[in-house]
Amino acid sequence: MLEPLPRSFYDRPVVQVARDLLGKLLLREAPEGMVAGRIVEVEAYQGFDDPAAHSFRGRTPRNATMFGPAGHLYVYSIHARFCMNVVTEAEGTPTAVLLRAVEPREGIELMQTRRDLEKVRDLARGPARLCEAYAIDRAWDGWDLTGGEGLWIAQSDDAEDASPKIFTSPRIGVTSAHESLLRFVIAGSPFVSGPRRLAGEAE
DNA sequence: CTACCGATTGACT
DNA sequence: GTCAATCGGTAGA
């Protein structure tokens, strides 16, 4: 239990990894304490075929991690904040899954301190909020998620998390490729970001 | 070197 | 619902 997912989990087609990440636990161990949450919202970014992906125009110092092996963390900054991604597929195939929201399960007080916010629903609802709640910044870029320390992802013990009902929508905030349905959320979860009509009521 | 701008958020009407 | 602050990465001069 709470063993890190193996590299083989990440070394698969990005959309498949994205869907399978829903319901998994994102774990963070720090000197200040432990934080954990259930992943409820992700987006897939498809590299060379995907104008919305950072890697679309080739490798740069910023996106280099996306080109590396699967199972590592890609952290970038935007609008003076941070967002975290999980790198998928083989080395040289720059695909990744953006972690957009988590349902807090453990270490809620620590998240509240880091976010300077009481409301549990908003602690990790949105990619930059999630990073703040987990204290992840650009220094974590390249982190290996299969190590089982610091930051990793594990299967949940709770059977209810095993095969969640998935709702699909266009990605949020992207200025190109509006049409692709590459955002995945756990249907009906109050912890997902975006407008209500994209929260995933129906299937 | 400067100019532009985004995979966002939070404050405000 | 609307809107502007924010700042590092990237492209172009």
What is the pLDDT of chain A when averaged over all its residues?
95
Give, as ranges, the nucleotides of chain B with any atom within 7 Å of a protein CB: 6-10
**Average pLDDT, stretch A148-164?**
95
Calculate the angstrom distance between C1' of B10 and CA of A59.
33
Question: Are A85 and A62 in contact, with CB atoms under 8 Å apart?
Answer: no
- Rounded Cα distance between A26 and A29, Å, is 10
Q: Please name the nucleotide lying closest to A128, CA to C1'.
A: B8
Model confidence at A195, in pLDDT bands (50, 70, 90)?
confident
The answer to whether A114 and A122 have CB atoms below 8 angstroms apart is no
Q: Using an 8 Å Cβ cutoff, are A76 and A138 in contact?
A: yes
The encoded tokens of residue A164 equal: 């969640």
Helix, strand, coil tally for chain A in percent (to 5): 25, 30, 45
Confidence of residue A40 (pLDDT cuts 50, 70, 90): very high
Contact indicator for A14, A97 with CB cutoff of 8 Å:
yes
Q: Report how far residue A81's alpha carbon sits from residue A79's, in angstroms, rounded to the nearest whole number.
A: 5
User: Residue A195 CA to C2 C1' — how many Å?
Assistant: 14
Residue A176 has a pLDDT of 85
Q: What is the pLDDT of residue A167?
A: 96
Has residue A126 got a pLDDT over 60?
yes
Query: Does position A8 have pLDDT exceeding 70, yes or no?
Result: yes
* A175 — pLDDT class (breaks 50, 70, 90): confident
Q: Helix H segments across chain A?
A: 7-10, 14-21, 108-115, 127-134
The predicted pLDDT at position A197 comes to 80
Nucleotide nearest to A62 (CA to C1'): C9
- List all residues 6 or more positions away from A191 whose beta carbon is below 8 Å from its beta carbon: A40, A41, A101, A102, A103, A104, A121, A124, A125
Under the banding of pLDDT at 50, 70 and 90, the label for residue A1 is low
DSSP-assigned letters across all residues of A31-79? TTEEEEEEEEEEEEE-GGG-TTSGGGG---TTTGGGGS-TTBEEEEEET
pLDDT over 90 percentage in chain A: 92
pTM of the model: 0.96
Confidence of residue A203 (pLDDT cuts 50, 70, 90): very low
The Cβ of residue A101 has, within 10 Å, a number of other Cβ atoms equal to 24
Q: CA(A60)–C1'(C13) in Å?
A: 21
